[in-house]
Amino acid sequence: MRNGSGGCFINIFIIITYTLSITAMLCLVQILRGPTHFDRLVGLNLMVANITAIIVVLAVYYNHLVYLDVALVYAMLGFISVIAISKYLTGRELHR
Protein backbone atom coordinates (compact mmCIF):
# COMPACT_ATOMS: atom_id res chain seq x y z
CA MET A 1 0.00 0.00 0.00
CA ARG A 2 1.04 3.56 -0.51
CA ASN A 3 0.34 6.57 1.58
CA GLY A 4 -0.58 10.01 0.29
CA SER A 5 3.02 11.25 -0.02
CA GLY A 6 3.99 8.60 -2.55
CA GLY A 7 6.34 6.73 -0.21
CA CYS A 8 6.05 3.08 0.59
CA PHE A 9 3.85 2.41 3.60
CA ILE A 10 4.86 -0.59 5.68
CA ASN A 11 2.00 -1.92 7.72
CA ILE A 12 2.73 -2.59 11.38
CA PHE A 13 0.86 -5.90 11.22
CA ILE A 14 3.23 -7.20 8.57
CA ILE A 15 6.26 -6.19 10.64
CA ILE A 16 4.84 -7.94 13.70
CA THR A 17 4.04 -11.07 11.66
CA TYR A 18 7.54 -11.26 10.20
CA THR A 19 9.12 -10.70 13.60
CA LEU A 20 7.03 -13.44 15.19
CA SER A 21 7.84 -15.75 12.26
CA ILE A 22 11.55 -15.20 12.79
CA THR A 23 11.24 -15.95 16.49
CA ALA A 24 9.21 -19.08 15.67
CA MET A 25 12.05 -20.23 13.40
CA LEU A 26 14.51 -19.62 16.22
CA CYS A 27 12.32 -21.77 18.45
CA LEU A 28 12.40 -24.48 15.80
CA VAL A 29 16.20 -24.34 15.91
CA GLN A 30 16.03 -24.76 19.68
CA ILE A 31 13.71 -27.74 19.28
CA LEU A 32 16.04 -29.43 16.82
CA ARG A 33 19.27 -28.54 18.62
CA GLY A 34 18.28 -28.66 22.30
CA PRO A 35 20.62 -30.77 24.37
CA THR A 36 17.89 -32.19 26.61
CA HIS A 37 14.24 -33.08 26.17
CA PHE A 38 13.22 -30.28 28.51
CA ASP A 39 15.03 -27.69 26.37
CA ARG A 40 13.12 -28.99 23.38
CA LEU A 41 9.89 -28.79 25.37
CA VAL A 42 10.54 -25.14 26.24
CA GLY A 43 11.21 -24.44 22.58
CA LEU A 44 7.95 -26.14 21.66
CA ASN A 45 6.05 -24.10 24.22
CA LEU A 46 7.53 -20.86 22.88
CA MET A 47 6.76 -21.89 19.32
CA VAL A 48 3.11 -22.55 20.20
CA ALA A 49 2.91 -19.09 21.78
CA ASN A 50 4.47 -17.46 18.71
CA ILE A 51 2.18 -19.23 16.28
CA THR A 52 -0.82 -18.30 18.42
CA ALA A 53 0.26 -14.67 18.31
CA ILE A 54 0.72 -14.86 14.53
CA ILE A 55 -2.82 -16.23 14.15
CA VAL A 56 -4.20 -13.43 16.31
CA VAL A 57 -2.33 -10.71 14.42
CA LEU A 58 -3.43 -12.05 11.04
CA ALA A 59 -7.04 -12.42 12.26
CA VAL A 60 -7.08 -8.75 13.22
CA TYR A 61 -5.29 -7.68 10.04
CA TYR A 62 -7.67 -9.51 7.71
CA ASN A 63 -10.69 -8.81 9.95
CA HIS A 64 -11.61 -12.50 10.20
CA LEU A 65 -12.42 -12.69 13.86
CA VAL A 66 -13.36 -16.37 13.70
CA TYR A 67 -9.62 -17.09 13.67
CA LEU A 68 -9.43 -15.75 17.22
CA ASP A 69 -11.36 -18.83 18.28
CA VAL A 70 -8.89 -20.97 16.33
CA ALA A 71 -6.01 -19.26 18.14
CA LEU A 72 -7.65 -19.89 21.51
CA VAL A 73 -8.14 -23.59 20.78
CA TYR A 74 -4.58 -23.85 19.44
CA ALA A 75 -3.20 -22.26 22.60
CA MET A 76 -5.22 -24.58 24.83
CA LEU A 77 -4.11 -27.66 22.92
CA GLY A 78 -0.52 -26.48 23.04
CA PHE A 79 -0.71 -25.96 26.80
CA ILE A 80 -2.28 -29.36 27.40
CA SER A 81 0.26 -31.10 25.18
CA VAL A 82 3.19 -29.45 26.98
CA ILE A 83 1.77 -30.56 30.34
CA ALA A 84 1.25 -34.12 29.06
CA ILE A 85 4.73 -34.36 27.54
CA SER A 86 6.40 -32.96 30.65
CA LYS A 87 4.58 -35.44 32.88
CA TYR A 88 5.55 -38.25 30.52
CA LEU A 89 9.19 -37.21 30.58
CA THR A 90 9.28 -37.04 34.37
CA GLY A 91 7.65 -40.47 34.67
CA ARG A 92 4.54 -39.32 36.52
CA GLU A 93 1.02 -40.38 35.65
CA LEU A 94 -1.33 -37.94 33.96
CA HIS A 95 -4.23 -38.24 36.41
CA ARG A 96 -2.30 -37.19 39.52
What pLDDT is recorded for position 96?
59
Q: Is residue 36 part of a domain?
A: yes
What pLDDT is recorded for position 1?
45
DSSP character string of 9-59: PPPHHHHHHHHHHHHHHHHHHHHHH-SSHHHHHHHHHHHHHHHHHHHHHHH
Q: Is residue 34 part of a domain?
A: yes
Q: Is the pTM above the cut of 0.85? A: no
**Per-run averaged pLDDT (10 residues), the chain, 96 residues:** 51 92 96 92 95 95 93 96 89 69
What pLDDT is recorded for position 92?
72
Instruction: State the total domains in the chain.
Output: 1
Domain that holds residue 53: 12-90
Q: Is residue 6 part of a domain?
A: no
What pLDDT is recorded for position 11?
86
Q: Is residue 96 part of a domain?
A: no
